């Protein structure tokens, strides 16, 4: 197989340059782009408004539309959340999630096949990172769900498998394309990017002014504890993270969310809640408490409802804004990467 170019990952400017090279009129780029990004076209054949000879030329030169396909769709009986096992054109498998909120539909997408961050409570990282997704594969998850469900998408969270800041180049391309008026035209207000805290990238993203929400997976108020279950904490201290978060807020005016997955007996104590309150005191921040979804390969257990509520109360007493994220679709392999692992286990060919 020669080098392949995913047309779904190309900006309208890049398509414009290609059309120019091919001696095609400039409007062809717009026709192709619109059909893919707002017209639900999943293949060159479905782009019916361009000449067959042009499609042939594109194919022979290695350009094609590589859609993401839905391999499995699970619907939660408790809250209607839908989870998808998604197939990429090279046979790799990722996960995406569709949630319905009062204000509309939100899709959670993956940014890498696997992950190399090594957080010990997370299933996505158990086999390391296999490869990065390109921008078209990030968009493709949204387009596949949008078409399959016939919905209008309200918001996107980059919170599935993978560390988006470890695939920064493709993340930025994805963000530009999803906010393109000729595509989904999504406002930064409706986009959240979640990171375990790669501070250089947080600053870079702040400078780009997408107006999006940054979510930092903090999970511990101290370096000492954070280092015991998040390897990235050996590289960046909590203080580094706080400085980067402050920078993000100063540059963008957007309140930063801190994710805090509560693990029984590890980071859910009164002392942790107090430390966290001190750390975030006076900041324009929001804490999202997530009772951990136990991963069968690991020993961690979910905090009890009592400790989750006590943790939240302690934060509120110290005037820290906090919400509890109830496990969406917990009955259908909720935790990041668990669904993919089950699917791969069941479909093993060896
Ligand atoms: N790599 C990014 C985004 C992916 S994970 C990040 O670290 O933010 C999205 C969120 O889910 C992160 O806060 C992550 O720490 C958390 N998470 C992962 N596995 C989990 C589990 N089993 N239970 C609860 N939260 C989990």
The string of pLDDT tens digits covering residues 151-200 is: 999 999 999 999 999 999 999 999 999 999 999 999 999 999 999 999 99
Residue 328 has pLDDT above 70, yes or no: no
- Asked if 199 contacts 239 with a C-beta cutoff of 8 angstroms, the reply is no
Instruction: Give me the pLDDT at residue 210, please.
Output: 96
Minimum mean pLDDT range among 190-194, 276-280, 330-334 = 330-334
C-alpha 321 to ligand 1 mean position (Å): 20
Instruction: Give me the pLDDT at residue 221, please.
Output: 98
C-alpha 287 to ligand 1 mean position (Å): 14
The string of pLDDT tens digits covering residues 104-161 is: 999 999 999 999 999 999 999 999 999 999 999 999 999 999 999 999 999 999 999 9
Q: Active-site residue 336, yes or no? A: yes
Residue nearest to atom 5 of ligand 1 (CA): 159
The string of pLDDT tens digits covering residues 254-269 is: 999 999 999 999 999 9
- Asked if 184 contacts 40 with a C-beta cutoff of 8 angstroms, the reply is no
Distance of CA 192 to the CA centre of its chain: 8
- 247, two tokens: 């920078």
- Decide whether any atom of ligand 1 lies within 6 Å of the 289 Cβ: no
- Decide whether any atom of ligand 1 lies within 6 Å of the 192 Cβ: no
Give the model's confidence band at 239: pLDDT under 50 very low, under 70 low, under 90 confident, else very high.
Answer: very high
Residue 13 has pLDDT above 50, yes or no: yes
Residue nearest to atom 14 of ligand 1 (CA): 217
Instruction: Give me the pLDDT at residue 336, please.
Output: 66
Q: Active-site residue 95, yes or no? A: yes
Q: What are phi and psi of 320, to 5 degrees?
A: -105, 130
- Decide whether any atom of ligand 1 lies within 6 Å of the 232 Cβ: no
- Asked if 281 contacts 274 with a C-beta cutoff of 8 angstroms, the reply is no
- Decide whether any atom of ligand 1 lies within 6 Å of the 292 Cβ: yes
C-alpha 207 to ligand 1 mean position (Å): 25
> Could you say which DSSP state residue 9 is in?
G
Instruction: Give me the pLDDT at residue 28, please.
Output: 98
Residue 246 has pLDDT above 50, yes or no: yes
Residue 1 has pLDDT above 60, yes or no: no
Residue 97 has pLDDT above 60, yes or no: yes
Stated pTM of the model? 0.95
User: Annotated catalytic residue: which of 95, 137, 163, 259?
Assistant: 95
The string of pLDDT tens digits covering residues 45-72 is: 999 999 999 999 999 999 999 999 999 9
Instruction: Give me the pLDDT at residue 2, please.
Output: 41
Mean pLDDT of the chain: 94
Instruction: Give me the pLDDT at residue 26, please.
Output: 94
Instruction: Give me the pLDDT at residue 243, please.
Output: 98
Domains of the chain, earliest start first: 3-60 (1.10.150.530), 69-348 (3.20.20.70)
Neighbouring CB atoms inside 10 A of 75's CB total 13
Place of tokens 């969270």: 157
Instruction: Give me the pLDDT at residue 350, please.
Output: 42
Residue 103's SS3 state is coil
- Decide whether any atom of ligand 1 lies within 6 Å of the 229 Cβ: no
Mean pLDDT of 261-287: 97
């Amino acid at each position: 197989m020669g080098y392949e170019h995913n047309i779904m990952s190309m900006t309208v400017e890049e398509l414009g340059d290609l059309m120019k090279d091919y001696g095609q009129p400039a409007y062809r780029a717009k026709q192709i782009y619109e059909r893919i990004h707002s017209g639900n076209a999943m293949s060159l054949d479905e782009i019916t408004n361009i000449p067959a000879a042009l499609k042939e030329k594109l194919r022979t030169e290695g350009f094609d539309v590589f859609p993401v396909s839905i391999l499995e769709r699970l619907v939660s009986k408790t809250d209607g959340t839908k989870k998808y096992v998604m197939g990429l054109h090279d046979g790799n498998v990722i996960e995406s999630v569709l949630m319905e909120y009062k204000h509309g539909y939100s899709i959670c997408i993956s940014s890498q096949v696997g992950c190399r961050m090594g957080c010990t409570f997370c299933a996505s990282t158990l086999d390391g990172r296999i490869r990065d997704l390109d921008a078209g594969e990030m968009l493709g998850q949204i387009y596949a769900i949008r078409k399959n469900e016939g919905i209008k998408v309200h918001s996107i969270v980059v919170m599935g498998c993978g560390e988006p800041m470890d695939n920064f180049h493709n993340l930025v391309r994805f963000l530009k394309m999803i906010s393109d008026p000729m595509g989904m035209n999504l406002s930064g207000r409706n986009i959240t990017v979640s990171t375990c805290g790669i501070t250089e990238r947080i600053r870079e993203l702040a400078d780009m002014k997408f107006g999006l929400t940054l979510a930092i997976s903090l999970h511990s108020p101290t370096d000492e504890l954070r280092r015991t279950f998040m390897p990235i904490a050996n590289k960046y201290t909590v203080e580094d993270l706080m400085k980067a978060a402050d920078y993000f807020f100063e540059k963008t005016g957007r309140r930063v969310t801190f994710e805090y997955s509560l693990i029984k007996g590890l980071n859910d104590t009164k002392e942790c809640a107090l430390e966290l309150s001190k750390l975030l005191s006076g900041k324009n921040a929001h804490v999202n408490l997530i009772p951990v979804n136990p991963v069968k390969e690991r020993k961690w257990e979910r905090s009890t409802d009592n400790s989750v509520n006590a943790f939240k109360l302690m934060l509120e007493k110290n005037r820290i804004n906090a919400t509890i994220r109830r496990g969406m679709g917990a009955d259908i392999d909720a935790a990041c990467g668990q669904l993919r692992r089950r699917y791969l286990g069941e479909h093993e060919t060896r």
